[in-house]
Each structure stands twice: as C-alpha cells, then as structure tokens.
Amino acid sequence: MPGRSRFLGVGRHLWGVHVIRFENVSKVYTRGARPALEDVSVDVQRGEFVFLVGASGSGKSTFLSLVLREQRPTRGGIYVAGRDVARLSAWRVPKLRRELGVVFQDFRLLQNKTVYENVAFALKVIGKPRSAVRDTVPEILDLVGLSGKEKRMPTELSGGEQQRAAIARAIVNRPQILLADEPTGNLDPTTSLGIMRLLDRINSTGTTVVMATHDDEIVNEMRRRVVELSDGVVVRDEASGVYGERESILPEVRRSSVLGTASGVPRRAATGRRKPLPVRVPTHGEA
Amino acid sequence: MRFQFVAGEVAAGLRRNTTMVVAVILVTFVSLTFVGAAALLQTQIGKLKDDWYDLVQVSVFLCPTGSMMPTCASGEATAAQVDAVRDVIDTELSDEVEAVYLETKADAFEAFTERYPNGYQGTQLTEDDMQASLRLDLADPEQFAVVSDVLTGRDGVELVEDQRAVFEPLFRTLNVATLLAAGLAGVMLLAAVLLITTTIRLSAVSRRKETEIMRLVGASNLFVQLPFLLEGAIAAVTGALLAGLGLWLAVRFLVADWLERSVDWVAYVDAADVLTVAPFLVLVAVALAAVSSVVTLNRYTRI
C-alpha cells in the first residue's frame, strides 16, 4: 500500500482500520473569527457508516472539505486513506480524491450529458481506458437502479433518479470512502428512503460512508454512528445514535461547547478530553 | 482515451466560445503581423547594409570642367593635382585608408553603361558627362570625418563624399518604420494577452461545473487545465500562422512583384526570410498563450 509508510510515521495506530482520522483539528478561516472547527478528533473506521449532524454553520461542510483536501487545517493532523492530508502536496491531491466519492444535495450532474455520459465522465477524466468505462458504467448504473435510463438527460429524471446518477458517478471508480453532503436535502421522504437504502447497500460492500445531514428521520431510523458538531466542536459521538434534540441542533439555539444543559440523548464532548484519541466506537459487522 | 477526451474538450470549448476565439485569432494575427513586419524591416536593412557597405567607399570627386567650387578654379583636375592628393592620402591618412584607386571618366562610363545599357532616363550620355574620382576603402568606415577634413579644400578636389551617407536617410526611415511596427506590435501583443486571458477565463467559467467534477473525482491538474491551455494555444497559433501567411503574401505581391519591378537594383526580403521569421511568430504566440494561461488557470481551476 503506497500510503503505508507515510502513515506509519504517525505511529501508534494500525493503518488499515481507520480510513479517516482527525487529530485535534482546528480550522480558522479568518484570523480572530470563531473557528469553523475547534480541536476536533474523530476516527472513522473502514466500512463504517457515520452521520455527521449539526446546525448549519456547525462545521459539517468544513469537515468534509478538509477530508477532500479542498483546504488545509489550521492546526492538527488529518489522515485519509493512508495519506497525511494536512501535509499532502497539491500534485498528490488527485490521487487522494480517487479514493473518495462525493455526493451533494444539488446532485451536480452535467446537464448537457446523458446519465451514462455523466458517470463515464468520472472515469474518462482520470484516464481510464475505454474498455474499462464500457464495462464498469452499466454495472454501476444497474447497482444504483438506473438501468434502462442510460440515455436520459438529467432534466428528464426525477430528483431521486438524479441523485442515484450522482451516486453512481461518485462510486464508479470504487472509492474507499463515500462522502455525502446532505444527499437527501432536496428529496421527499419516500425518495430519501430509497437513497438511504442505496447508500446502505454501498456501505455493506465495504465502502466507508460519511454523510452530513439534517434529516432526523433518517438518522433515527438507520441507527448508525452519529457525530454531532456544534460551533465547530464535536459534542456527541455515539454508535447507533439518534439525531438528538431537534431544538438543540437548530441554529437559533446558541450553546456553549460545554454541555450539560441539553437533555435527552447522552453526549460526550470532544473538548476536555485529555488524550487526542477519541472514544473508539464499535462497528457493526465488518471492520 | 485521454487524447480523445482532451481533443473533444478542446473542440467543444472552441465551438462554445467561437466569437472570443475569432477575436483572439484576429488580435494575434494583427499583432504578430506587426512583429513580423518589424523583423522583416530589420532583415531588409541588414541586406542593404551587407550589399552596399562593402561596395561603397569614400569618393573623392575630382574637379570636372566647369565646376563652381573654388578648388576647381583651374578647371579639370590635372594629373599633378591628383598625384598630390594621393601623396597626402599615403602620408597623412595611411592609418585610415586601406586602399586607393582611381576611377577615371572611362571607368565611370563603363560602369554606367553596364548598369543602364539603354541610357539614363532616355538620355544617352557620353564619357565626358562622367566625373573622375578617387575611391578610398577605409579601414574603419566610421573614420570618414577625419578623411574628409584632410582632403576637402585641396586643389583639384571638388567634393569628398561618404557614400554611406546616401543611405542614411533610407536606413533612418526603415528604422523608424521598424520602431513604429514594434511599438504597434507591443500594444497589440498586450491586447492579445488580455484577450486570451479573458477568453480562457470565460471558457473556464462556462465549464466550471465540468472542472469542479473533474477535480472532485481526482483528475490531474494537467488534465483539467490542458483543454484550456490548448484552446488558447490553438487560437494564438492560428493567428501566428495567419500573420505568417499575410507577410508571405505581402512579400510575394508587394515586394517581389511590385517593388522589385520598379526599383530593381536592390536586394529585397523574400519568401525565405518570411519562412525564417514565421517560426518565431509561432513561438511568440505559444509564449503569449502560455503566459495568459498560467495567469488565468491558477486562479480559475485550482485544486
């Protein structure tokens, strides 16, 4: 594994278990402003399904964009798919991104290309041979339930179908990690459920899924690991979690990072932890 | 696959941005035509200097009959006067003058008949219409002033003339034309850079969704930027080729067909010179596109 030696330099962790590791990560956009992330330590293990919840502005998007190395952290270490992302040089970034798939709330399909072309695009631009494209794309479209709609344009698809096409594009290169930024944000509950089943299926093939969401129903139904961010701080990290108090996550309610006022679900604050090691969360089934 | 994909992207980009691409082609065409014209003018000057400076010397015109100059009061220069002048040259100007020879009226007439076998502008001239002169080869042509000082005013010497001076107004004109062309070229090149920058930026913005997806799925930087680079380069190089073609046509029809026929005793720039200049025009075009691309792309398609 090419990233192994670099990762071993970090020490004390067995590479192979964690696909995403945040070590006391802080991100400050403008000097003096409140940090977007503050001292965040999170480990995501191979094959895990993690919900990232929190109000708008709580740091979910910053978290995902740091994983993608769209930006570098102000402080702390980030390791993704065996790479030291905080110190990754720009020309190595494309290789990192090939280990990651990304899905967005607004699908981001290319409107002038058919479903097939949209998915094939992701392979073509990383230089995959034509034969590989021909073999893989129909397979993936079948997996996401879009066989027979290869020639449709995105505008001829429902929202759910567009998101399936976007997911197909994200996983067609078989990434280790799938990042989803509110993938059901534009979809009705029934359609959302279909998308979640699809993500679950992708997860069950060994792909790690990190999904930022506001959809409490989905989180409560799926019962997977939940990491809650508030004002850039991890305020809760639990296995088989629920969405939590809706009120406490809504942006109107400002809370300090020191919790105690919130009721209901158990919380664990990331700050105040003596060791950077986060609490290890048992995974379900695979690992 | 890679090549095909990049080619497809380039074609799509050129199609989508047709008006801007045409503008880039035209601006590079005009600017590089001026660059090429400046280069050809300098080549022309070089050719003329090569041709003429070796031939031309300092002419010491000897008094003909009927000259109004005071040194010619005694009429046509006598052999004794000529010898006296040669003596002065041999003694006082031995460092400056390399060689001296006498062009007699007969020699002058012979040279004249050779050049104009049918008479000059319809008039048949005779040997007596010619003027004898001493021709001096100078060790250093710049030393003309010294030679002129020493020889002017001697008996039998009508006029000391630096033949190079005859060409100075012409060279000055050509140099001014070169400067003018170069100046215009500079302004146009600046316009070309700005236009290419804008074109690439427009192209990048109009394909922002594509490039965003490309960088998210891990396309390499080069792969993302290459289509834009090539678009700018193709437009600029097309402009350069047009400029080369334009210069070739100008040389072919203006210089070769027209100038050469009306003034035929001059060596002119030819198609071969255009071919020498053209590769540089293409290089300049590529450089223009490269500079513009680097400036723009780092801002608009950053990872």
- 8 Å CB contact between B130 and B109: yes
Contact B223 A96 (CB under 8 A): no
List CB contacts (< 8 A) between B223 and chain A: 125-127
State residue B129's pLDDT score. Answer: 79
In the predicted model, what is the mean pLDDT of residues A105-127? 93
Contact B1 A127 (CB under 8 A): yes
Model confidence at A2, pLDDT cuts 50, 70, 90, reads: very low
Query: What size, in residues, is chain B?
Result: 303
3-state secondary structure at position A172:
coil
3-state secondary structure at position A84:
strand
Q: Rounded to an integer, what distance in angstroms lies between the CA atom of residue B148 and that of residue B59?
A: 10
Of A95, A99, A121, the CB nearest to B213: A121
Contact B218 A94 (CB under 8 A): yes
Side-chain half-sphere CA neighbours of A114 within 13 A:
12
Task: List the one residue out of B286, B297, B281, B287 whose CA is nearest residue B199.
Answer: B297
Pairing assessment for the beta strands B97-103 and B133-138 based on DSSP bridges: antiparallel
A143-182: per-residue pLDDT in tens? 999 999 999 999 999 999 999 999 999 999 999 999 999 9
Helices B18-55 and B163-206: angle between axes, nearest 10 degrees: 160
Q: Rounded to an integer, what distance in angstroms lies between the CA atom of residue A287 and that of residue B182?
A: 70
Q: Is the dihedral of CA B234, B235, B241, B245 positive or negative?
A: positive
What's the helix, strand, coil split of chain B in %, to 5? 75, 10, 20
- 8 Å CB contact between A232 and A35: yes
Best mutation target among B10, B217, B228, B297 (most A Cβ atoms within 10 Å) is B217
Contact B216 A90 (CB under 8 A): no
- 8 Å CB contact between B195 and B17: no
Q: Is the ipTM of this complex over 0.85?
A: no
Contact B219 A133 (CB under 8 A): no
Compare all CA atoms of chain B with the CA of A172 and give the residue at the minimum distance. B217
Contact A94 B1 (CB under 8 A): no
Angle at B149 (CA atoms; ends B144, B154), nearest 5 degrees: 120
Q: For chain A, say whether B213 makes contact (Cβ under 8 Å).
A: yes
State residue A258's pLDDT score. Answer: 42
- What is the model's pTM? 0.69
- 8 Å CB contact between A204 and A172: no
Of B1, B2, B209, the CB nearest to A110: B209
In chain A, alpha helices (H):
4-8, 60-67, 93-97, 115-124, 130-143, 159-171, 189-204, 216-222, 246-249
State residue A100's pLDDT score. Answer: 95
Model confidence at A284, pLDDT cuts 50, 70, 90, reads: very low
Smallest CA–CA distance, residue B197 to chain A, in Å, is 24
Best mutation target among A64, A96, A124, A176 (most B Cβ atoms within 10 Å) is A124
Strand partners, A27: A37
Q: Rounded to an integer, what distance in angstroms lies between the CA atom of residue A13 and that of residue A46?
A: 13
A206-263: per-residue pLDDT in tens? 999 999 998 888 999 889 999 999 999 999 998 887 887 655 555 444 444 444 444 4
3-state secondary structure at position B220:
coil
- Sheet strand arrangement including A75-80: A37-45, A18-27, A75-80, A83-84
List CB contacts (< 8 A) between A95 and chain B: 218
- The secondary structure element, H or E, covering residue B210 is helix B208-216
Give the A-side interface with B, CB within 8 Å: 68, 90-91, 93-102, 108, 110, 121-122, 124-130, 133, 169-170, 173
Q: Rounded to an integer, what distance in angstroms lies between the CA atom of residue B62 and that of residue B42?
A: 36
Q: Rounded to an integer, what distance in angstroms lies between the CA atom of residue A170 and that of residue A174?
A: 8
State residue B25's pLDDT score. Answer: 93
Of A91, A95, A102, the CB nearest to B216: A102
State residue A40's pLDDT score. Answer: 94
Q: For chain A, say whether B66 makes contact (Cβ under 8 Å).
A: no
Q: Rounded to an integer, what distance in angstroms lies between the CA atom of residue B36 and that of residue B189?
A: 12
List CB contacts (< 8 A) between B2 and chain A: 127
Q: Rounded to an integer, what distance in angstroms lies between the CA atom of residue B274 and that of residue B33?
A: 11
List CB contacts (< 8 A) between A102 and chain B: 216
E strand map for chain A: 18-27, 37-45, 49-53, 75-80, 83-84, 100-104, 177-181, 208-212, 225-230, 233-238
Torsion of CA B105, B110, B115, B120, to 10 degrees: 50
In the predicted model, what is the mean pLDDT of residues A93-114? 94
User: B263 CB contacts (<8 Å, ≥6 apart)?
Assistant: none
- 8 Å CB contact between B181 and B37: yes
| Per-block mean pLDDT, blocks of 10 residues, chain B (303 long) | 80 86 92 91 82 74 82 81 86 83 84 76 77 82 80 84 78 86 88 87 85 90 85 92 93 82 75 90 91 79 58
State residue A118's pLDDT score. Answer: 96
Best mutation target among B216, B221, B225, B297 (most A Cβ atoms within 10 Å) is B216
Q: For chain A, say whether B253 makes contact (Cβ under 8 Å).
A: no
State residue A101's pLDDT score. Answer: 95
Of A90, A110, A130, the CB nearest to B1: A130
Of A94, A130, A173, the CB nearest to B220: A94
Q: Rounded to an integer, what distance in angstroms lies between the CA atom of residue B103 and that of residue B22?
A: 61
* pLDDT beyond 70 at A268: no
How far the first Cα of chain A sits from its last, in Å, is 18
Strand partners, A208: A177
- 8 Å CB contact between A136 and A213: no
Best mutation target among A98, A106, A125 (most B Cβ atoms within 10 Å) is A125
Contact A126 B219 (CB under 8 A): yes
Of A97, A108, A110, the CB nearest to B218: A97
Contact A125 B221 (CB under 8 A): no
